[in-house]
């Protein structure tokens, strides 16, 4: 644990350093990156050593403010969640070296780096907290520091609104968590996590639901995900990468932790998590498909992937409840694997989107196009990230999804509810997979391929060196995990060892299967190279011409005739219409020689709509009626305070 705290101290130094030397812009950025990266590397050691040597769970306690004890413990679950924190965060900072280019905003960049370091430290502390005050403290620091990172461009009104929305969801979620903790405390009278299992079963369900909603609002479960599509586009891209790749996983970590601590093998928990996961996954990907803003699309895709992770967790929990060991093991292991994979490819995609935004100055798919030729490295790495996130072999996304499939298939031999739920998990995974393919073919095909739709896109150039290097590294990681999954899956297996009773299963037979997958992937790549070579041979000494695209008889095509994101997704969105309402505005054509007409469509988020309609509006109405309390007379306010104190004294 000493190394762990040392690494956190180093990361903090890396955060404070830019505040001191912000006048030297380049030095500041480079210095901060190096120090933070060193700290993260240092932090990887204790995490890996806990993971690799089974059963080593370090614990540290220190007193704080005379009342509380801060207590930390690193078991295999914490150690596994530390991996994305310590791997993705420094890469994102390295990426920001060329991304944060505005020299005149030197101090603001320094503050961004400072809060970034705080965020990394607080996430690591969340993963290791071992009692209620420690967890609450770390959780709040994490929420607040990420809030400041989101509002980096605070002059922009939309950014401020996004930050506000994020803040409300973060604090609302925290309140639910505190309610859950308070309920536990009322039974145990003790702050330690270890006592959670002692509370009565009826209370456990309430605690779990409260905590699930609280953590879910951070992770982005449906319908509490609505802050994601606002906060991610508003934040700078390396921050989106960290928040989407790493921070929302802390919500997942919280769900796993509370499940492990409560320790009830009840079917209800698994059912809740699985059903919410399926809804989150399918609706997330449909919303992603309907959105034309690159970063918003990626944010919804994060919602979808949280859904996949929750499906894995739900399958695991049902496995525990029905005592199907293999189902429990592979469900949880798949969820863990997908956490790691998603942190890699989602941060890669956000970085790619950042590069596009940086160079083409727009986030709208319908204004991009043809970037593959103008940004070869960004385009190719983005393609790899898209293949990985669609869960296609031989890339990393497939491995996590395969584990979850495998776990779900173990549930097919069960009876009744468990069978139906396993079947639904498989079907929803298949549907999510298909829709994710549609979604990312749209993103790659329309933003990076074809012809540029606007002048801005045509003028775009390649991203800076540090951005390119980071993206190449992450893309290679996607391919590596896809082709050689064994060591990484073993890490995930180790990660769930402390998640009893799921961790007790012996997956020896599965390792054989993994090797076969790895061989299949290698074989496919070999076949691909062979056929490519064959194709080269077929074209040897042959005439290869170039010409315009066949316009089906039309001779004057323009770039604006290309298919747009809206048209690409239209029929699919239509299929899911009750769940994804579409707002359309069309002025129509009136005169014989029509003037300018306007056609506007937007895919709405049903959760956002309903929450606005059913909660916020009535709530506002209520508050409107209570406005007379706020009249501005100070002496009356003082009277309120006195009255409140008297009432309190009388009651307590």
Partner 1 sequence: MESIVSFCFAILVAPLLSAIILKVKAFIAGRKGPPLLIKYYTLAKLFKKGSVYSTSSSFVFKLGPVVSFCSVVMVLLFFPLAGIKPLLSFHGDVIILLYLMGLGRFFTIIAALDTASPFEGMGAAREAYFSTLAEATLFVILLLFYRLNGSFSFAAFFTGPAAINLWSPTASLLLLVIVALFIVLLTENSRVPVDDPATHLELTMIHEVMILDHSGPDLALIELGASLKLFFYSAFITCLLYPFQLDNGYLNGLIFYALMGLIYVLVGITESIMARYKMDLVPKFILTSFALVFFAAILTMEFVQ
Q: Is residue 430 near partner 1 by the rule CB under 8 A? A: yes
Q: Which stretch binds partner 1 (CB under 8 A): 6-14, 319-327, 407-415, 622-630?
A: 407-415
Residues 258, 359: Cα–Cα separation, whole Å: 43
Alpha-carbon dihedral 495, 501, 502, 507, rounded to 10 degrees: 90
DSSP-derived pairing of the beta strands 582-586 and 68-74: unpaired
Q: Which stretch binds partner 1 (CB under 8 A): 139-147, 174-182, 466-474, 559-567?
A: 559-567
Q: Is residue 438 near partner 1 by the rule CB under 8 A? A: yes
Q: Is residue 392 near partner 1 by the rule CB under 8 A? A: yes
Residue with Cβ nearer partner 1 (223 or 482): 482
Beta bridge partners of 466: none
What φ, ψ does residue 602 adopt, rounded to 5°? Answer: -145, 135
What φ, ψ does residue 220 adopt, rounded to 5°? Answer: 100, 45
Q: Is residue 48 near partner 1 by the rule CB under 8 A? A: no
- Smallest distance from the beta carbon of 416 to partner 1, in angstroms? 7
Contact partners, residue 361, CB within 8 Å, separation at least 6? 456
Residue with Cβ nearer partner 1 (212 or 406): 406
- Smallest distance from the beta carbon of 371 to partner 1, in angstroms? 10
Q: Which stretch binds partner 1 (CB under 8 A): 42-50, 316-324, 401-409, 587-595?
A: 401-409
Q: Is residue 535 near partner 1 by the rule CB under 8 A? A: yes
Residue with Cβ nearer partner 1 (134 or 562): 562
Q: Which stretch binds partner 1 (CB under 8 A): 83-91, 321-329, 446-454, 459-467?
A: 446-454
Q: Is residue 349 near partner 1 by the rule CB under 8 A? A: no
Q: Is residue 97 near partner 1 by the rule CB under 8 A? A: no
User: How is 294-331 classified by DSSP, letter by letter?
Assistant: HHHHHHHHHHHHHHHHHHHHHHHHHHHHTT-HHHHHHH
**Contact letters for partner 1, residues 608-627 (x by CB under 8 A):** --------------------
Residue in the block written with tokens 């040597």: 53
Residue with Cβ nearer partner 1 (412 or 604): 412
- Smallest distance from the beta carbon of 326 to partner 1, in angstroms? 12
- Smallest distance from the beta carbon of 570 to partner 1, in angstroms? 8
Alpha-carbon dihedral 292, 294, 298, 304, rounded to 10 degrees: 10
- Smallest distance from the beta carbon of 480 to partner 1, in angstroms? 17
Q: Is the peptide bond before 223 cis (omega within 30 degrees of 0)?
A: yes
- Smallest distance from the beta carbon of 9 to partner 1, in angstroms? 44
Give whole-number Cα distances, 94 to 13, 26, 467, 473, in Å. Answer: 16, 12, 8, 12
Residues 419, 254: Cα–Cα separation, whole Å: 27
The answer to whether the CB of 149 falls within 8 A of the CB of 116 is yes
Residue with Cβ nearer partner 1 (118 or 603): 603
**Contact letters for partner 1, residues 537-556 (x by CB under 8 A):** -xx--xxxxxxxxxxx----
- Smallest distance from the beta carbon of 404 to partner 1, in angstroms? 11
Nearest to 304 by CA among 342, 332, 330: 342
Residue with Cβ nearer partner 1 (98 or 359): 359
Residue with Cβ nearer partner 1 (373 or 612): 373
What φ, ψ does residue 600 adopt, rounded to 5°? Answer: -140, 130
Per CB under 8 A, the list member of 100, 446, 481, 580 interacting with partner 1 is 446
Q: Is residue 630 near partner 1 by the rule CB under 8 A? A: no
Residues 559, 450: Cα–Cα separation, whole Å: 9
Residue in the block written with tokens 């700290």: 39
Residue with Cβ nearer partner 1 (542 or 631): 542
Per CB under 8 A, the list member of 133, 172, 434, 507 interacting with partner 1 is 434
Residue with Cβ nearer partner 1 (542 or 627): 542
Residues 506, 329: Cα–Cα separation, whole Å: 9
Q: Is residue 488 near partner 1 by the rule CB under 8 A? A: no
Residue with Cβ nearer partner 1 (536 or 621): 536
Q: Which stretch binds partner 1 (CB under 8 A): 4-12, 90-98, 257-265, 564-572?
A: 564-572
Residue with Cβ nearer partner 1 (320 or 372): 372
Residues 593-623 as b/e (b if ≥16 CB within 10 A, e otherwise) read: eeeeeeeeeebebbbbeeeeeeeeeeeeeee
What φ, ψ does residue 72 adopt, rounded to 5°? Answer: -125, 140
- Smallest distance from the beta carbon of 300 to partner 1, in angstroms? 16
Nearest to 349 by CA among 310, 309, 379: 379
The answer to whether the CB of 300 falls within 8 A of the CB of 291 is yes
Biggest alpha carbon–alpha carbon distance for the chain: 98
Q: Which stretch binds partner 1 (CB under 8 A): 59-67, 190-198, 313-321, 368-376?
A: 368-376
Nearest to 233 by CA among 383, 91, 364: 364
Per CB under 8 A, the list member of 290, 334, 370, 407 interacting with partner 1 is 370
The answer to whether the CB of 225 falls within 8 A of the CB of 235 is no
Residues 168, 612: Cα–Cα separation, whole Å: 14
Residue with Cβ nearer partner 1 (194 or 430): 430
Residue with Cβ nearer partner 1 (361 or 535): 535
- Smallest distance from the beta carbon of 515 to partner 1, in angstroms? 9
- Smallest distance from the beta carbon of 95 to partner 1, in angstroms? 24
Site for partner 1 in 221-280 (CB under 8 A): none
Total of residues contacting partner 1 (CB under 8 A): 79
- Smallest distance from the beta carbon of 431 to partner 1, in angstroms? 5
Give whole-number Cα distances, 392 to 246, 386, 492, in Å. Answer: 22, 9, 20
Q: How would you classify residue 72: left for phi > 0, otherwise alpha for psi between -120 and 50, otherwise beta?
A: beta
Nearest to 482 by CA among 519, 432, 435: 519
- Smallest distance from the beta carbon of 457 to partner 1, in angstroms? 12
- Residues composing the chain: 652
Site for partner 1 in 408-427 (CB under 8 A): 409, 412-413, 415-416, 419-420, 422-423, 426-427
Residues 362, 372: Cα–Cα separation, whole Å: 16
């Amino acid at each position: 644990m000493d190394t762990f705290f040392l690494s956190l101290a180093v990361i903090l130094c890396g955060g404070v350093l830019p505040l001191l030397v912000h006048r030297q812009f380049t030095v500041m950025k480079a210095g901060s990156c190096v120090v933070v990266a060193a700290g993260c590397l240092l932090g990887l050691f204790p995490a890996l050593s806990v993971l690799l040597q089974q059963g080593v769970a370090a614990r540290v306690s220190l007193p704080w403010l005379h009342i509380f004890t801060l207590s930390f413990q690193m078991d295999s679950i914490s150690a596994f969640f530390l991996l994305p924190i310590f791997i993705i965060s420094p890469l994102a900072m390295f990426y920001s070296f060329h991304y944060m280019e505005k020299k005149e905003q030197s101090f603001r960049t320094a503050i961004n780096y400072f809060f970034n370091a705080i965020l990394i430290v607080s996430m690591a502390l969340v993963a290791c907290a071992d009692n209620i005050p420690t967890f609450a403290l770390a959780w709040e620091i994490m929420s607040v520091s990420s809030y400041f990172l989101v509002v980096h461009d605070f002059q922009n009104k939309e950014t401020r609104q996004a930050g506000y929305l994020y803040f409300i969801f973060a604090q609302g979620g925290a309140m639910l968590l505190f309610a859950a903790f308070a309920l536990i405390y009322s039974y145990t009278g003790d702050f330690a996590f270890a006592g959670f299992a002692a509370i009565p079963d009826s209370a456990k369900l309430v605690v779990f639901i409260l905590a699930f909603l609280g953590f879910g609002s951070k992770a982005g479960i449906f319908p509490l995900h609505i802050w994601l599509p606002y906060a991610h586009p508003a934040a700078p891209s390396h921050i989106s990468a960290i928040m989407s790749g790493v921070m929302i996983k802390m919500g997942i970590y919280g769900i796993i932790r509370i499940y492990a601590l409560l320790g009830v093998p009840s079917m209800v928990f698994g059912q809740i998590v699985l059903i919410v996961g399926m809804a989150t996954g399918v609706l997330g990907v449909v919303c992603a498909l309907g959105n034309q803003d690159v970063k918003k699309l990626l944010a919804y895709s994060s919602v979808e992937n949280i859904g996949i992770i929750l499906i894995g967790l739900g399958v695991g929990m049902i496995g525990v409840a029905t005592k199907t060991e293999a189902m429990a093991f592979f469900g949880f292991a798949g969820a863990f694997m997908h956490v790691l994979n998603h942190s890699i490819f989602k941060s890669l995609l956000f970085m790619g989107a950042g590069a596009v935004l940086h160079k083409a100055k727009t986030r709208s798919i319908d204004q991009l196009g043809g970037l593959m030729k103008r940004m070869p490295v960004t385009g190719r790495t983005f393609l790899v990230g898209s293949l990985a996130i669609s869960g296609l072999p031989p890339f990393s996304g497939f491995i996590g999804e395969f584990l979850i499939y495998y776990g779900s298939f173990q549930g097919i031999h069960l009876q009744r509810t468990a069978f139906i739920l396993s079947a639904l998990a498989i079907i929803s995974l298949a549907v999510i997979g298909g829709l994710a393919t549609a979604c990312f073919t749209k993103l790659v095909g329309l933003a990076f391929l074809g012809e540029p739709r606007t002048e801005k896109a045509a003028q775009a150039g390649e991203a800076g060196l540090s951005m390119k290097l980071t993206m190449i590294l992450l893309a290679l990681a996607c391919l590596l995990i896809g082709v050689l999954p064994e060591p990484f899956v073993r890490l995930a297996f180790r990660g769930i060892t402390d998640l009893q009773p799921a961790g007790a299963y012996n997956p020896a037979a599965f390792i054989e299967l993994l090797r076969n997958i790895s061989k299949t992937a290698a074989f496919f790549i070999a076949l691909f190279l062979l056929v490519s070579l064959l194709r080269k041979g077929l074209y040897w000494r042959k005439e290869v011409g170039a010409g315009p695209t066949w316009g089906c008889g039309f001779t004057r095509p323009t770039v604006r005739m290309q298919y747009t994101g809206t048209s690409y997704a239209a029929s699919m969105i239509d299929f899911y219409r009750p769940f994804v309402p579409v707002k359309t505005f069309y002025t129509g054509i009136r005169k014989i020689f029509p003037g300018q007409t306007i056609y506007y469509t937007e895919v709405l988020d049903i959760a956002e709509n309903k929450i606005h309609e059913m909660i916020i509006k009535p709530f506002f109405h209520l508050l409107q009626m209570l406005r007379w309390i706020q009249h501005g007379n100070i002496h009356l306010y003082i009277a309120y305070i006195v009255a409140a104190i008297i009432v309190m004294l009388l009651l307590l």
